[in-house]
């Protein structure tokens, strides 16, 4: 992994990655420039800004800055029942795999989708099974292109409208039906911190080579309306981030630690200042 | 159990209880009158309105209407670290037990409390252990008064600021350290619907005689700011309420089905109309 060229302690920052939604006020060139200056070697990207910039151009830009793309967010939304909608979702996910391959990242993060409209609208088990069907269809396609599908369990508060995979246990149960080279899981502190089973599940995921990404954000309350944009800056909340990082390390994970915070208060500030603060918070609250 | 004297199908409503916070626009006499008229035999009460009315007077009022108090909400908030705060919490819980006994209900619902301020502010395990210590202290006191402590798992979105007991599995693990006559659990659809382990846990809880209360509300989105007052009227959301009711029945639970919905849209309407609607929704979406 590139260790960056900045003067801000690149040793400490050797595993750090910044997910671009954390500082969405920055353009992709501004983000790359800012990360390089700080000595942050990794960046997590989202499809929409990458598509606007152009995937090839984005790949070139990131490469020229010596950055590694640690993940692309996101594919998924597999739970529709209607055949045409399912076909569209699979097509879109193949496009997401192609974009990940273009960017040179091996990790495509998947948000599985919520309960569907219609007769299956209360059938969590059925929706989870359709996620498995989609993984079966997409796994080989992704593998051929050097990309792994990374099932992200989202906090149970998103189970109805965003992601029927709510725990690391559920994500692993899905992933384990497929080769580890095709399907992994995302460990995100924001979604998993409340679950006492997680340390053992991280160990199991690590032993099986299933940890495709490790993302960090803190849990703060009160939650905002819609509960999407209320993640906390590292150290501001309830999560023992250091314990999480130690658990994934102990499980054998050697990849990036990707900071992904959705919070309008961060977006309103100077982006370079948020980058600096986030790197400092990472060293203080995640490392050590 | 009293089956009520109304003309609205008291057979169907024989197990129904209305938690008073569902229709907080009604005074306690209005609520009792409305339930009796509909033929709803049960009522779930909250400490604050009962204290305002006077526990003895409330007990008399409920008795005169032939109603059964199916639960008293709520004791708990056991997670403080500071000794004086812990003593105050235990004292307050003994008062809650006394009030439950006065009202003639055997079920005191406990909301365990969130993470404390201070050094233990990220220590979920420690906080959960302090809940166990409080149950050990309060259990015999409650049992002597004919009251059982009912540990309610709250949705994981409340884990930091309200209740560190987030799953039925955690609640059972706590309860099982004590005699079933002292500590039971609350099964509330709103908090548990997303968890695939719940059917098996309900069976285990029923076999051990641990189901102290069964509460129903639906899950609707978007969640409001603070996520406290966004519960859905029965049938409006994602929860398969009938499957839950069948599961608790199959587990041997024969107690009340208590509707507990916190939703300002219901509070703005005519309370008698909300009672009628809720009874109809219960028959359509929970029974059958």
Question: Which residues does chain B have within 8 Å of residue A223's beta carbon, measured at their own beta carbons?
Answer: 157, 223, 225-227
CA B102/CA A166 separation, integer angstroms: 41
Q: What is the mean pLDDT of chain A?
A: 96
pLDDT, tens only, A216-247: 999 999 999 999 999 999 999 999 999 999 99
pLDDT category at A1 given cuts 50, 70, 90 is very low
Residue A88 parent element (H or E): helix A83-103
Q: What is the pTM of this model?
A: 0.95
pLDDT category at A164 given cuts 50, 70, 90 is very high
- Please tell me the predicted confidence (pLDDT) of residue A10: 52
- For residue B67 the two structure tokens come to 């109603």
pLDDT category at B119 given cuts 50, 70, 90 is confident
Residue A130 parent element (H or E): helix A124-144
pLDDT category at B118 given cuts 50, 70, 90 is confident
pLDDT, tens only, A179-230: 999 999 999 999 999 999 999 999 999 999 999 999 999 999 999 999 999 9
CA B7/CA A139 separation, integer angstroms: 60
pLDDT category at B2 given cuts 50, 70, 90 is very low
- Please tell me the predicted confidence (pLDDT) of residue A288: 80
Closest CA–CA distance from residue A32 to any residue of chain B (Å): 34
Closest CA–CA distance from residue A161 to any residue of chain B (Å): 7
pLDDT, tens only, A242-264: 999 999 999 999 999 999 999 99
Q: Are A182 and A149 in contact (CB under 8 A)?
A: yes
Q: What is the mean pLDDT of residues A8-21?
A: 86
CA A246/CA A268 separation, integer angstroms: 32
Q: What is the mean pLDDT of residues A75-104?
A: 97
Radius of gyration of chain A from Cα atoms?
18
A268 contact B CB<8A: no
pLDDT category at A276 given cuts 50, 70, 90 is very high
Asked if the Cβ–Cβ distance from A125 to B223 is below 8 Å, we say: no
Sign of the four-CA dihedral B172, B177, B180, B183? negative
Q: What is the mean pLDDT of chain B?
A: 96
- Please tell me the predicted confidence (pLDDT) of residue B7: 41
What is the maximum alpha-carbon separation in chain B? 58
pLDDT at A2 over 90: no
pLDDT at A4 over 70: no
Share of chain B above pLDDT 70, in %: 97
DSSP state of B68: E
Share of chain A above pLDDT 90, in %: 95
ipTM (interface predicted TM) = 0.94
Q: What is the mean pLDDT of residues A122-138?
A: 98
pLDDT at B176 over 80: yes
Closest chain A residue to the Cα of B120, Cα to Cα = A238
pLDDT category at B4 given cuts 50, 70, 90 is very low
pLDDT, tens only, B205-219: 999 999 999 999 999
pLDDT at B58 over 60: yes
Looking at the structure, give the CATH architecture of the domain made up of residues A16-285: Alpha-Beta Barrel (3.20)
Question: Which residues does chain A have within 8 Å of residue B240's beta carbon, measured at their own beta carbons?
Answer: 122-123
pLDDT at B65 over 80: yes
pLDDT, tens only, B120-150: 999 999 999 999 999 999 999 999 999 999 9
Residue ranges covered by each domain of chain A: 16-285
Asked if the Cβ–Cβ distance from A170 to B196 is below 8 Å, we say: yes
Asked if the Cβ–Cβ distance from A157 to B160 is below 8 Å, we say: no
Q: What is the mean pLDDT of residues B177-196?
A: 98
CA A24/CA A37 separation, integer angstroms: 18
- Rounded (10°) angle between helices A168-175 and A124-144: 50
Q: What is the mean pLDDT of residues B181-203?
A: 98
Closest chain B residue to the Cα of A243, Cα to Cα = B122
- Name the residue among A157, A159, A223 with its Cβ closest to that of B226: A223
Asked if the Cβ–Cβ distance from A160 to B125 is below 8 Å, we say: no
| Burial (CB count within 10 angstroms: exposed 0-12, middle 13-18, buried 19+), residue B114 | buried
């Amino acid at each position: 992994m590139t260790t960056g060229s900045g003067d801000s302690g690149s040793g400490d920052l050797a595993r750090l990655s910044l997910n671009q939604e954390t500082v969405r006020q920055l353009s992709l060139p501004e983000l790359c420039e800012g990360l390089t200056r700080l000595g942050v070697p990794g960046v997590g990207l989202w499809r929409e800004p990458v598509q606007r910039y152009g995937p090839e151009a984005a790949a070139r830009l990131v490469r020229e800055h010596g950055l590694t793309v640690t993940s692309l967010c996101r594919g998924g939304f597999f739970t529709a029942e209607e055949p045409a909608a399912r076909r569209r979702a699979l097509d879109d996910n193949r496009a997401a795999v192609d974009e990940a391959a273009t960017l040179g990242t091996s990790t495509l993060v998947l948000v599985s989708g919520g309960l569907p409209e219609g007769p299956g609208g209360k059938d969590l088990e059925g929706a989870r099974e359709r996620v498995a069907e989609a993984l079966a269809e997409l796994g080989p396609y992704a593998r051929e292109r050097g990309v792994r599908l990374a099932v992200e369990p989202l906090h149970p508060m998103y189970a109805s409208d965003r992601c029927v995979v709510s725990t690391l246990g559920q994500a692993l149960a899905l992933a384990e039906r497929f080769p580890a080279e095709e399907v992994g899981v995302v460990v995100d502190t924001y979604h998993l911190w409340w679950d006492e089973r997680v340390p053992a599940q991280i160990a199991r995921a690590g032993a099986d080579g299933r940890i495709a990404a490790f993302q960090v954000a803190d849990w703060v309350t009160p939650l905002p309306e819609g509960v999407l944009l209320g993640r906390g800056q590292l150290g501001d909340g309830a999560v023992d981030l250091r314990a999480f990082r130690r658990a994934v390390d102990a499980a054998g994970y050697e990849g990036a630690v990707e900071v992904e915070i959705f919070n309008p208060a961060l977006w309103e500030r100077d982006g370079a200042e948020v980058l600096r603060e986030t790197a400092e918070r990472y060293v203080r609250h995640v490392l050590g």
